[in-house]
Amino acid sequence: MTTTDLATVVMAAGRGTRMKSATPKHLHPLLGRRMLEWVLEAVRPLASGPLVVVCAPDTEDGLRASIDGATFAVQQVPRGTGDAVASAREALAGFDGDVLVVSGDAPLLTPELLEGLVEAHRRERPAVTILTVEPEQPRAYGRILRDGDGRVTGVVEDADATPEQRAIRELNSSIYVFAAADLWEALGRLDADNAQGELYLTDTIGHLAAAGRRVATHAAEDPVVADGVNTRAELAAAAAVLRDRINARHMAAGVAIVDPATTWIEPDAELEPDAVIHPFTVVRGRSRVAAGAEVGPHAVLIDASVGAGALAGPFCYLRPGTVLEADAKAGTFVEIKNSRIGERSKVPHLSYIGDAEVGSDTNVAAGAITANFPHQPGRPKGRTTIGSNVRTGIHNGFIAPVEIGDDSWIAAGTVVTDDVPPGSLAGFPPRQVTKEGYLREERNDD
C-alpha cells in the first residue's frame, strides 16, 4: 500500500527517564537497529507522502545525519504528546490528507498492522481512527471510553482514570490515523489540566467526539505488536519478539536453526537455505552464511561472510571483513578480522588472524598470531599473505607485512619476519636444552 495523501508523524522526542540512561529512549540499540529505526521500517512501506520525525533539540543533528528520507521537527520543550504532534504542523503546512501518528517507542509495529489501520480509516472516513488493543494482562495505557450506544467519547490516561475506568479492557495503543484538518483543530483545543500537567494527544479524541465528529477504532489482533518500550525490561522483551520473528522467517526459508531461543540474528544478515546455525550464536550486521555452512555453537559473526560448506565454531569470533570461502574452517577459540581464508583452508583452534590473506588448502596450526601493528605511527597496518597448501607450525607469529609462498612449511615456535619463498621450509627456532639433575643439584646446594 503506497499513497501520496498519507503523511506520517513519528513522535521521538521523549527522554525515557525510566530507562535510567543517558541515551534517549528512542535511540537505544535493539537487535541491530535503534528503536526508532524499527518504527521507521514499519511506516515507510505505507506512504510516499511526508514523513516527519519529532525529536528533541539535542538529538536533531545526529538524526538528520543518520536517517534519510525524513523531515525533522523539533519539540523545543517536552510538554507532552499533544505538543509533540503540534510541533510537526509547520512541516506539514498545506497538507490536507490523512496523518498517521505513531510513537517512536513501538518497535514491534509491522507494515501489515498499519496498513490495516489505514484501510479501516479510509473505508469509514471518520475524523480519527484509533488502533486499540485488549491484552490479557492490564497495562498502564489509556482506556477507550464509550457511551451507552458504543460510540467512542474519549480516552482517559491511566494516571487520570478512576478505578472503574481502569477496569476497561479496551486500551489505546497511541497509534492513530487523523484527517489532517480535524487533527490541527483538536490540537488547538488542548490544555494541561491533568495529572501530568502535559498536553495529551489523547485529549483530542474527546474534543472531536464532543464536536460531533466521528471517532472509529481498529483492533489489533495481537496486542503485543503495539507494545511500547519504556524500561530496560521491556526493551529486552521487545528484542526477544523481534528475534523470534527473524528466526521464524529464516527457518521458513530453509535455514536450520537448532535452538531459536538462543540464536540472535540481526535483520540485515543473509542466510541461505540449508545453512545451519547452532545454539548460542549471534549473527550481526550484514553477515552472510551460505548454503551448507555451519555456524556455532557459541559463535559471533559481525559483517562476516561464511561460504558454502564452511565451518565457524564452536567458540569463534569473526569480525568485520572476514571471509571464509567454501569449505574453509574457523575453529575453537579463533578470532579473525579483515581477512580472507581460502577454499578448504583451516584455522582450527586458538589463533588470531587479522589483516591477512590465506590461500586454498592451507592449515594454520594452533596458536598462530598475525602481528599486524603499524611499524610507524600513522602508517596503515601491514598485511600477512599465506599462500596455498601451506603448513604452519604451532605457536607461529607472523610480523606483517610478510608473505609465505605456496607449498611452504613453517617450523613450530617460529616468529616469521621475512618473506618465505614458495616450496620452502622456514624457521628452526632454538632447540630444547635439557640439564639433567639440575634441580637436584640446586637443592643439594641449599
CATH of the domain at 156: 3.90.550.10
How many CA atoms within 13 Å lie on the side-chain side of 344? 5
The answer on 289 and 185 residing in a single domain is no
The answer on 209 and 143 residing in a single domain is yes
Among candidate residues 166, 168, 119, the one with its CA nearest the CA of residue 146: 168
Distance between CA 63 and CA 74 in Å, rounded?
Answer: 11
Which residues, in sequence order, are CB contacts of 156 under 8 Å at separation 6+?
142, 143, 145, 165, 202
Parent domain of 82: 6-226
The answer on 269 and 214 residing in a single domain is no
What is the number of structural domains in the chain?
A: 2
Burial readout 268-294 (b: 16 or more C-beta within 10 A, e: otherwise): ebebbeebbbbbbbbbbeebbbbebbb
Distance between CA 212 and CA 316 in Å, rounded?
Answer: 64
- pLDDT 10s digit of each residue in the chain, 446 long? 444 589 999 999 987 788 899 999 999 999 999 999 999 999 999 976 899 999 999 999 999 999 999 999 999 998 899 999 999 999 999 999 999 999 999 999 999 999 999 999 999 999 999 999 999 887 889 999 999 999 999 999 998 899 999 999 999 999 999 999 999 999 999 988 777 888 999 999 999 999 999 999 999 999 999 999 999 999 999 999 999 999 999 999 999 999 999 999 999 999 999 999 999 999 999 999 999 999 999 999 999 999 999 999 999 999 999 999 999 999 999 999 999 999 999 999 999 999 999 999 999 999 999 998 766 666 778 899 999 999 999 999 999 999 999 999 999 999 999 999 999 999 988 876 767 777 666 566 65
Which residues, in sequence order, are CB contacts of 62 under 8 Å at separation 6+?
27
H-helix or E-strand spanning residue 111: helix 111-124
- Is 437 part of a structural domain of the chain? no
**In contact, 267 and 31? CB cutoff 8 Å:** yes
The answer to whether the bond into 314 is cis (omega within 30° of 0) is: yes
The answer on 358 and 315 residing in a single domain is yes
pLDDT confidence of residue 14: 83
Pick the catalytic residue: 26, 28, 218, 349?
349
pLDDT confidence of residue 433: 73
- Residue 424: helix, strand or coil by DSSP? coil
Task: Look up 349 and say whether it is catalytic.
Answer: yes
**In this structure, what CATH number is given to the domain that contains residue 260?**
2.160.10.10
Reported residue count of the chain is 446
pLDDT confidence of residue 1: 45
C-alpha cell at 73: 521537527
Among candidate residues 345, 256, 263, the one with its CA nearest the CA of residue 293: 256
pLDDT confidence of residue 372: 84
pLDDT confidence of residue 375: 61
**In contact, 365 and 373? CB cutoff 8 Å:** no
Distance between CA 227 and CA 223 in Å, rounded?
Answer: 7
Distance between CA 337 and CA 372 in Å, rounded?
Answer: 11
Distance between CA 201 and CA 130 in Å, rounded?
Answer: 12
pLDDT confidence of residue 410: 95
Among candidate residues 256, 247, 354, the one with its CA nearest the CA of residue 304: 354
The answer on 268 and 145 residing in a single domain is no
The answer on 202 and 68 residing in a single domain is yes
The answer on 50 and 152 residing in a single domain is yes
